[in-house]
Amino acid sequence: MREIVFDTETTGLDPRSGDRLVEIGCIEMINRVPSGAVYHCYFNPERDMPAEAEAVHGLSIAFLSDKPRFAEKAGEFLEFIQDSPLVAHNAGFDFGFMNTELELCGLEPVSRDRMIDTVAIARRKHPGAKLSLDALCSRYGIDRSHRTKHGALLDAELLAQLYVELQGGRQIGLELAAEARMMTEQSVIGISSSVSRTFRSPRPHTASEEELARHADFMAGFSEPIWSR
CATH number at residue 96: 3.30.420.10
**pLDDT at position 200 over 80:** no
Structural domains counted in the chain: 1
* Domain limits for position 73: 2-173
In a domain, 56, yes or no: yes
pLDDT tens digits along 57-89: 999 999 999 999 999 999 999 999 999 999 999
User: Residue 13: its pLDDT value, please?
Assistant: 95
Q: What is the pTM of this model?
A: 0.72
In a domain, 68, yes or no: yes
> Where in the sequence numbering do the catalytic residues fall?
150
User: Residue 152: its pLDDT value, please?
Assistant: 94
pLDDT tens digits along 119-154: 999 999 999 999 999 999 999 999 988 776 788 999
In a domain, 223, yes or no: no
**pLDDT at position 41 over 70:** yes
User: Which is it for strands 2-10 and 21-30: parallel, antiparallel or unpaired?
Assistant: antiparallel
**pLDDT at position 205 over 70:** no
In a domain, 225, yes or no: no
In a domain, 158, yes or no: yes
Residue 15, CA distances (Å) to 21, 60, 95, 99 in order: 8, 18, 10, 10
In a domain, 38, yes or no: yes
Structure-model confidence comparison of residues 221 and 30, the more confident one: 30
DSSP track, 141-182 = T---TT-SS--HHHHHHHHHHHHHHHTTTHHHHHHHHHHHHH
CB-CB neighbours of 217 under 10 Å? 8
User: Residue 50: its pLDDT value, please?
Assistant: 96
